Structure 1
Amino acid sequence: MIHHSHRAFQSGKLHCILPSLPQNSAMAVSVSVFLGFFVGLVVVGLASSKKFDELFQPSWATDHFLYEGELLKLKLDNYSGAGFSSKSKYMFGKVTIQIKLVDGDSAGTVTAFYMSSDGPNHNEFDFEFLGNTTGEPYTVQTNVYVNGVGNREQRLNLWFDPAKDFHSYSLFWNQRQVVFMVDETPIRVHTNLENKGLPFPKDQAMGVYSSIWNADDWATQGGRVKTDWTHAPFVATYKGFEIDACECPVSVAGVDNAKKCSSGVDKRYWWDEPTLSELNVHQSHQLVWVKAHHMVYDYCTDTARFPVTPVECVHHRH
């Protein structure tokens, strides 16, 4: 089927709409964008939904879930956190959830949104929102696991308060790149470097997950600030659940899923369009701005932890 959308990194009307720079960016970027149309080509994807129960199900602590119309709230107290998972697994496409994080004193708490496959050699793309004391900014930690190996942490502070309103957090994934986005602004890119001998996550279907839990042994200021349970319950609020990706049967082998979810002579998936094989100029400028003004840690530059620069850091363009 043809899926119609106006979201970035999506070829719904057979073109890609590009996000703008954050409103308070001091950077002025003038970019002419060519929006190509693909004629006579069937672009297929999975129609997305904004309803939680059509795509997801509680995975633990159902008594810490609260449903209020279109809103889902997950609670953390000194008894338990809570989490949910997708009903299906996916390979390639885009996943978006709108989240309003814990307000006020959120020190010690972690709210996570991520994709992951199963098993010890799993692949995983992580957003982790690390709480802080009142008045101090959230830290967003991202990580990428490939064949069970992670240690690719990056951390940044956002250009807005993520606890005051809903913001969209997205993962875009195809055979060329994984892109982490906040309100359609790319904040991280993990590029396919198989030509340099590095594995890339493209052979395992992944579920979509989110949870809130206590991690005061490390989450806030290196674990120096603990969770103040007098402020519990800590509540993360969700809405706008969207998945536009290739759904994969759990019982099917990874190589068959990869073939099923890749474009061929008989079908064309929107995420395989050549324009989505890398960031365009405008998006590259956005990413440069984010790194220059908001990044606070990058494993690629941590020489104490990695005396030898990780190979992907040498070759990544972004």
Structure 2
Amino acid sequence: MAIFKISVLSAIFATLLVVSAADFGREVDITWGNGRGKILNNGELLTLSLDKSSGSGFQSKNEFLFGKIDMQIKLVPGNSAGTVTTFYLKSPGSTWDEIDFEFLGNLSGDPYILHTNVYTQGKGNKEQQFYLWFDPTANFHTYSILWNPQRIIFSVDGTPIREFKNFESIGVLFPKNQAMRMYASLWNADDWATRGGLVKTDWSKSPFTASYKSLRVEACVWSNGRSSCNSKPSSWFTQEMDSTSQARLRWVQKNYMIYNYCTDGKRFPQGLPRECSMSS
């Protein structure tokens, strides 16, 4: 059940912080799919399905301006080629902000590709992709987005896989002015998702199903032009990576990163994006 509480964090700062645990019925709306999204087990589990007619998706009831969101996901098993399972934050409008986890399906026995991206004011092109060090279809695993004014950290089971820092000081856009909702979806993208669209979705394997549970949100709720956080709300608001986290990040990037826009000189013939020159 969702818990909303007022936390006195210090003698100076008092903030209203939403801390929600896994009651999907209270926290999200299934927004499309015509019944293909289902909330089960008294709100503890949410499943999305995809068939040839439609995929499905849900979104948070609240908008947030900074926060830490954890979601446990079990991905489509078997031949998932052509499918994309997502968990992301996004603001509305034509100059939107967005923070993405996208899981690109593949043929049976081949690894999923975990695709990450960051958009600010409608501009992205900041992709990093990874293989995972486990089978994400066999069990639930926790995928986390930490978003504060200084950095975005993507984590898997508590291990950071990517950090996108605020480098506004050198002219790099950073998402910090637009409130975002949390979204998740399962949809068909066989025009690009698997081997660049060479492998198409095998509809004889449908319906495809992904499962979500244990949603946890620690965030500043944005409503009527105001944040529920009067000031610095919690440790995540100023969180940085310690030396242990930095070592784990380097381990993931050395062993499991398969694409990094910051090393793709062919894509950026006029020069790599500015943030690529900064040390991590």
Structure 2-normalised TM-score? 0.92
Equivalent in the alignment of 2:24 = 52
**Alpha-carbon separation, structure 2, partners of 1:67 and 1:48:** 16
Q: Please, which of 208, 233, 238 is the counterpart of residue 269 of structure 1?
A: 233
**Alpha-carbon separation, structure 2, partners of 1:301 and 1:245:** 33
Q: Please, which of 245, 253, 267 is the counterpart of residue 219 of structure 2?
A: 245
Equivalent in the alignment of 2:157 = 183
Alignment check: 8 A CA contact 1:216 1:225 kept? yes
- 1:226-305 matches, within 5 Å, as 226-249=200-223, 251-252=224-225, 256-257=226-227, 261=229, 263=231, 268-271=232-235, 274=238, 276=239, 278-305=240-267
Q: Secondary structure at the match of 2:259?
A: strand
The unaligned stretches of length 5 or more in structure 2 are: none
CA distance 1:202–1:261, shift in 2 (3 Å): farther
Alignment check: 8 A CA contact 1:90 1:246 kept? yes
Q: Does 1:215 align with 2:177?
A: no
Equivalent in the alignment of 2:78 = 104
Alignment check: 8 A CA contact 1:44 1:270 kept? no
**Alpha-carbon separation, structure 1, partners of 2:82 and 2:104:** 7
> Alpha-carbon deviation of 1:66?
3.0
- 1:1-318 matches, within 5 Å, as 1=5, 42=14, 45-69=17-41, 70-249=44-223, 251-252=224-225, 256-257=226-227, 261=229, 263=231, 268-271=232-235, 274=238, 276=239, 278-307=240-269, 308-315=271-278, 317-318=279-280
> Alpha-carbon deviation of 1:261?
3.6
CA distance 1:76–1:292, shift in 2 (3 Å): same
**Alpha-carbon separation, structure 1, partners of 2:272 and 2:50:** 38
Alignment check: 8 A CA contact 2:102 2:114 kept? yes
> Alpha-carbon deviation of 1:199?
2.2
Q: Secondary structure at the match of 2:122?
A: coil
Deviation readout 1:271-290 (Å, 9 max, x if unpaired): 4665x1x2111110011000
Alignment check: 8 A CA contact 1:108 1:132 kept? yes
Deviation readout 1:83-128 (Å, 9 max, x if unpaired): 0011110011111111000000000000011000111111100000
Count of residues in correspondence between the two structures? 273
List structure 1 segments (4+ residues) > 3 angstroms apart after TM superposition. 38-44, 271-274
Structure with greater proportional strand content = 2
Alignment check: 8 A CA contact 1:300 1:310 kept? yes
Alignment check: 8 A CA contact 2:74 2:210 kept? yes
**Alpha-carbon separation, structure 1, partners of 2:128 and 2:237:** 28
> Alpha-carbon deviation of 1:45?
2.1
CA-based RMSD: 1.9
Alignment check: 8 A CA contact 2:155 2:161 kept? yes
**Alpha-carbon separation, structure 2, partners of 1:230 and 1:47:** 41
CA distance 1:203–1:299, shift in 2 (3 Å): same
Counterpart of 1:56, as a letter, is V
CA distance 1:241–1:62, shift in 2 (3 Å): farther
Equivalent in the alignment of 1:30 = none
Deviates more, 1:138-147 or 1:304-313: 304-313
